[in-house]
Amino acid sequence: MKIYTKTGDKGTTALFGGTRVPKHHIRIDSYGTVDELNSHIGLIRDQKIDELSKKILINIQDKLFTVGAVLATDPEKAILKSGQKRLNIPTISTEDIELLEKEIDRMNESLPPMTHFVLPGGHQTVSFCHIARCVCRRAERLATALYEIDPFEETTLHYLNRLSDYLFVLARKLSFDLKAEEIEWIPKKNS
């Protein structure tokens, strides 16, 4: 596979299905942000964290490629007039979302209850989780904007929403594991 094709030199790129769109198109921004998120998750996975979390993160990275494929597909080219799928694009399943929910619940069982918002930080690995969470929220915002224009499987949106929750709880779990200080945000009263 050749890395450079020169087909994007004039500021356009091809979606799955062949349709060409400007590189600043919301569809490109959506799946580009998912790709950015996937790279941040790789950074978290490269840290000294427990093996189960690494395994879950690899699964998440795989699912983010699926999310990217859904977002990169021209909806008009994905389905035949008969209603059958034309392109072999995977989808996010309810089981994928349930895995995140189970992991969130499992991690929460060992954490002290949260009574306040917490300031991001405390350890470099924890900070990487918070950065990934913020990128995930941006990916979700872009995907919902795209969904209003060209709807796709709602499970894709559900997955991004649950993933940001997972990354927040993972940050808390890693704070606990690494004995990092979790600083509560307590609003200051005006004097």
Residue 54 lies in a domain: yes
Residue 29 lies in a domain: yes
Q: pTM higher than 0.75 for the full model?
A: yes
Q: Model confidence at 145, in pLDDT bands (50, 70, 90)?
A: very high
Residue 16 lies in a domain: no
Question: What pLDDT score was predicted for residue 89?
Answer: 77
Residue 42 lies in a domain: yes
Residue 159 lies in a domain: yes
Report percent pLDDT > 70 for the chain: 84
Q: How far apart are CA 126 and CA 142, in angstroms?
A: 25
Residue 8 lies in a domain: no
Q: How far apart are CA 126 and CA 174, in angstroms?
A: 6
> Using a CB cutoff of 8 Å and minimum separation of 24, what contacts does 130-133 make?
130/167, 130/168, 130/171, 131/40, 132/37, 132/40, 132/41, 132/43, 132/44, 132/167, 133/164, 133/167, 133/168, 133/171
Q: Which residue has the higher pLDDT, 78 or 113?
A: 113
Q: To 10 degrees, the CA torsion angle through 60, 70, 93, 165?
A: 50
Q: Model confidence at 182, in pLDDT bands (50, 70, 90)?
A: confident
Residue 94 lies in a domain: yes
* C-alpha dihedral sign at 107, 50, 172, 165: negative
Residue 158 lies in a domain: yes
Which domain does 122 fall in, by range? 23-176
Q: How far apart are CA 123 and CA 171, in angstroms?
A: 10
Overall number of domains in the chain: 1
Q: What is the mean pLDDT of residues 75-102?
A: 77
What CATH number is attached to the domain comprising 165?
1.20.1200.10
